[in-house]
Amino acid sequence: MRQYECFELALKGAEPEGSWTQVDLQAEFVCEGNIRRVEGFYAGDGVYKVRFYPDRAGRYSWKVTGALNTRGEEMCMAAEMDRREEIRRTTASHPGRETCRTTGTGQGIVRVEGMHFRYDNGTWYRPFGTTVYALAHQEKALVDTTMETLRGAPFNKVRFCVFPKHYDFNHNEPPYFPFEKKEGGWDVHRPNFAFWEALEGRIRELDAMGIQGDLILFHPYDRWGFSELGKEDSLVYLDYLLRRLSAMPNLWWSLANEYDLMPGYSHKDWEDFAGFVAKHDPYGHCLSNHNCMAYWDFSQKEITHCSIQDVNVSEVPELWEQYGKPVIFDECRYEGNIIHSWGNLSAREMTRRFWTATCCGGYCTHGETYYSEDEVLWWAKGGTLKGESPARIAFLREIVESLPGPLDFMGEGLGAFTETQLQTMQEQGPSEEFRENFFLMAMLELPRERLRSFLVKERVALGHCGQEAYLKYLERQSASVTELSLPQNGSYRVEVIDTWNMTRTVAAKNVCGKVRVNLPGREDMAVLALRQ
């Protein structure tokens, strides 16, 4: 047992009677008085498994209970059943114990902290995601290529679906399905073990590369019937998935891609799914629900962060105010050249959205849709990357990860106010200090429904990391000069960053207070001030 890594017990027994997904198998893990109860699952071929994620090192003991062998046979020692090394030894009726060691390699599950994310080991995690919806549903050779591409790419999160995808450029049949077919649909009580083993294998590969799997549990683009399982079967599916996968550290749950395009599920269903996932995932992985149009209500208590489809990547402060949770623009459209407007961003534009979201305190997710005759587009099938944004995203990631902590929105000028602050001033009148602010007073005359668009227009993508670092992104401004207002009591080194050409040039050293910085008068520039 190793801290932050999935621990697995395997038990041999008779094939379950009835459901193969909802078997009666539980385990209780105790470490220094802390008890965690988890559920096991049937892995096929007479093997039952219990997986557990230890978030602390120490002496663990456990016991396994349940009436999984409905024919009354005693489960035999797992050691006797086969020689696969990863299968650990125990019995259902006897307790086990083991020391969980700190290895220093695993970082653990990513969790929300404030408006940002941290691994269980305390390291900050900044999502730089990409999207390969049908990653797991391609032929092995293509998935291998995808994995190889990810190894060299700047992404540390990948959004992909449990169910296969049917859509433009997605007409192939997947190698296997998550469940067995039955008359008129899918038998969610009969998992297709080969599918789940392959899926887990890919998740482990991602983990080895330091990549989070943002697993999409439902989605609408379907010709097989997985988008219309119905609520009851959907809960059975979720139950099985959570028993199998919850203990894998590098997973997030995305209830749906585009929940609002799935007429088979009501708003209440999604609320219930969120509740079910939160209840049945013992470890509290990140959980969200991704829209096509109307955002999910991220204030729902089980939802950990905002997973947004929209192009408004500078509205992080407003989203923070509204939901009080971290903001990831999981689809801000894709770099590519296809006919659809969501799939033909230039590489510059994709890069801009990353920079803007980042400097406003949020996070962004990449996708790529360059047309290809073989219909292998990265966004759905993976393969290789063709675009020019990943190199720039790597450049940004390197800068951001060199900072001592996450970037919070700061802004400047009128765009530094938030919608709520202005609404309050409209209702209650501005405080004394603002009454001489000519522009602010005029801004308060805006109709309430125009406040946000005005703020966004005035917004400066300026983030800070305490007083340690200030990162200002000029986006499309082609300025020949900009200004930073640094603390008077610090000493800063200022760099001019060309976000497209990926250059960093020191512009000033040992400066503080109001600093003017010359710029080359073209788009895509940024300025970084680092405390020395």
Residue ranges with strand state E in 396-453: 408-409
Q: Is residue 458 part of the contact set for a copy of itself (CB under 8 A)?
A: yes
| Number of shown-chain residues binding a copy of itself (CB under 8 A) | 45
Comparison of 51 and 472: residue with beta carbon closer to a copy of itself: 472
Per DSSP, 396 falls in state H
Q: Is residue 223 part of the contact set for a copy of itself (CB under 8 A)?
A: no
Alpha-carbon gap, residue 66 to 259, rounded angstroms: 35
Q: Is residue 488 part of the contact set for a copy of itself (CB under 8 A)?
A: no
Question: Minimum CB separation from a copy of itself for residue 170, in Å?
Answer: 17
Question: Minimum CB separation from a copy of itself for residue 516, in Å?
Answer: 8
Per DSSP, 478 falls in state -
Comparison of 212 and 309: residue with beta carbon closer to a copy of itself: 309
Residue 481: CA count within 13 A, CB half-sphere = 4
| Binding span for a copy of itself by CB under 8 A among 123-131, 157-165, 184-192, 305-313 | 305-313
Strand order in the sheet with 110-113: 110-113, 116-119, 124-125
Comparison of 89 and 476: residue with beta carbon closer to a copy of itself: 476
Q: Is residue 449 part of the contact set for a copy of itself (CB under 8 A)?
A: yes
Looking at 93, 424, 478, 503, which residue binds a copy of itself (CB under 8 A)? Answer: 478
The DSSP secondary structure of 158-209, one letter per residue, reads EEEESS---BTTB-PPPS--SEEEETTEEEEEEE-HHHHHHHHHHHHHHHHT
Looking at 26, 312, 420, 485, which residue binds a copy of itself (CB under 8 A)? Answer: 312
Comparison of 171 and 476: residue with beta carbon closer to a copy of itself: 476
Q: Is residue 310 part of the contact set for a copy of itself (CB under 8 A)?
A: yes
Comparison of 344 and 384: residue with beta carbon closer to a copy of itself: 344
Q: Which residues pair with 497 in a beta bridge?
A: 504, 526
The encoded tokens of residue 14 equal 């008779």
- Neighbouring CB atoms inside 10 A of 373's CB total 5
What x-and-dash track marks residues 354-373 binding a copy of itself by CB under 8 A? Answer: -----------------x--
Residue type, 153: A
Comparison of 215 and 484: residue with beta carbon closer to a copy of itself: 484
* Rg (the chain; Cα; Å): 25
How many helices (H) and strands (E) would you count in the chain? Answer: 12, 30
Comparison of 480 and 488: residue with beta carbon closer to a copy of itself: 480
Tell me which residue of 59, 34, 44 sits closest to 12, measured CA to CA.
44
The contact set with a copy of itself (CB under 8 A) reads 260-261, 263, 292-294, 310-312, 336-339, 341, 344-346, 349, 371, 438-439, 441-443, 445-447, 449-450, 453-454, 457-458, 460, 476-483, 521-523
